[in-house]
Each structure stands twice: as structure tokens, then as C-alpha cells.
Amino acid sequence: MFFKLVKHELKSVSKWYLTLYLMCLFLAISLGAFLREHYSVANSSYGMSYHLGLTFRENFSSGFSGILLLLVLMSFAIVVSAIAISTLSLIIKRFKDNIYGKQGYLTMTLPVSVHQLLVSKLLVSLVWVGLSLLALIVSVAVMGMVITTENLAAIFHGLAEIFQTWLSDPLFHLFQFMTTTVQIASYITLIFLSIAIGHSFENHRIITSFLAFFGLMVLVTVLHEVLLPAYTDYYAYDKQGRLIYDLLNTAFDFILMISSYFGSHYLIKNKLNLE
């Protein structure tokens, strides 16, 4: 039943995300083609940045092409923002509606535990965050390839070098992936806890949820600054110090994730207050 729940969560918003990803890719290709057609691009990445900046200053005010460039840039920025905002909004909306909204009456009759419900929500949220980041990276990479199609071999060579760098120290990059995942998961569970706190009240639940989130963020920030300041300078200058800081920071995020998770579990199981 747990995997069916995860599958349902993924399918429920997959069309929305797929549409946004395709729009982002289409606009990235369009922007790359426009820049290639109207602006000079040098072979190196430094030269490309310099010449693009130079031609922007010289030609941006040249009538229709400048206006069209602005529209394409704005459209791409809007889609990128939409992906980020919709990812956050859907995490909040799906959790709130499925547990505390009218759907909550059905959700709570399913043969799943509160733990399974929370883990499925967290897992699906992490999947969509990861796919959204991947979609943005792919879109930017495709845009770069469209701009400099004559240098595709150099681009692929650079990507191969990056991949070789990752393979040269797989444990370090696996650790970085894990720390990033734990950090994202800690903020997602903090959102869950904020919603659970807000909906434990009879009135003004949405406002209370926002206040709870900002209050918890302030508390987390203060605790982070109090518990980890001694390693900040060491982290900036020493590789071993950076590793120690990353380990401590990951431990802090992990404790935050576990605390927020079990706080949400307690409130859902014992203080559930459906609309």
C-alpha cells in the first residue's frame, strides 16, 4: 500500500511538472537560438560572456530584436521561477489538502500508518525537488549547446572532465549529495511541522502555519549560530576543517529533520483537526 501511495502522489502532479519542464526546455532552446542568431559569441566561456555583454550594450536598444530578447529572457525567468514556486507550493498544498483538508477524511481511512504517510510525502517531495533542479540544469546546458553548436566537442570534453573529477573521489561527492539531500529534507519536514502546528488551532490556521514556520526558522538559525560558530573560520581555510564543518552541519540538519518529522507525526496522530 505504501508504494501505491507514492505512485499516486507522483502521478497526481506529474502532468503539471512535465508541462513546466517542457516549457523551460523550449524557452532555453529559443533563447539559445536567438542569442546565436543576433549576438556574436566567442569560442571560450570567458570570451562568450565578454562578447555577449558587449553586444548586449551595443545592440539591446536596436528596436525589435532587443524587445524580443527581453521577452524571451523574461519568459525563461518566469518559467524558472514558476518551477521553483510551484515545487514549494505543491509540497505545501498536497500535504495540507491530503491530511487537513476534505481529502483528509479519505486519507485517514487508508490502511497506512502515519509514518508511511509522512515518509511518502517526504519521498515524493524530494523526487520533485531533484527533478526540478535537473530540469533547470539540462535546460541551461542545452541553451549553451545551442549558442555554441560549433564547439559541441569542447563542451562534451568539459562534461567528461567533470565526470572524471567526480569519479576520482566518489565518496566525497556521494557525501556532498547526502548532505544536500538531508538539508533539503530538513526544510521539507520543517514545512510539514509548521502546517501541523498551524492546523492544531481552531481558527486562522494558514496564518498560524506561516507564523510557525518563520518562528521555527528563527529558532533554527539561532541554534545553528550558537552551536556551530567556532568552526566557521576554520571551515573557510582548511580542508579538514571544511570536512568537520560539513559533518557537523549535516548532523545538525539530520537532527532538525528527525525532530520535525516526529513533531509532525505526534501532531497528526494525536492532535489531528480536520477542516
pLDDT (tens digit per residue) in 210-233: 999 999 999 999 988 888 765 555
Q: What are the percentages of helix, strand and coil residues in the chain, rounded to 5? A: 90, 0, 10
Q: Residue 258: CB partners within 8 Å, gap ≥ 6?
A: none
* pLDDT of res. 241: 66
- Domain residue limits, the chain: 1-149, 169-275
- Residues in the chain predicted with pLDDT less than 70, given as ranges, are 37-69, 148-159, 161-163, 165-167, 169, 229-241, 274-275
CA distances to 12, 70, 125, 133, 261 from 110, rounded to whole Å, are 17, 50, 20, 32, 20
Residue whose C-alpha cell reads 481552531 in the numeric block = 202
* Cα(228)–Cα(230) distance, integer angstroms: 6
pLDDT for 20-32, tens place per residue? 888 888 888 887 7
What per-residue confidence (pLDDT) applies to 151? 57
Q: So what's the pLDDT on residue 46?
A: 42
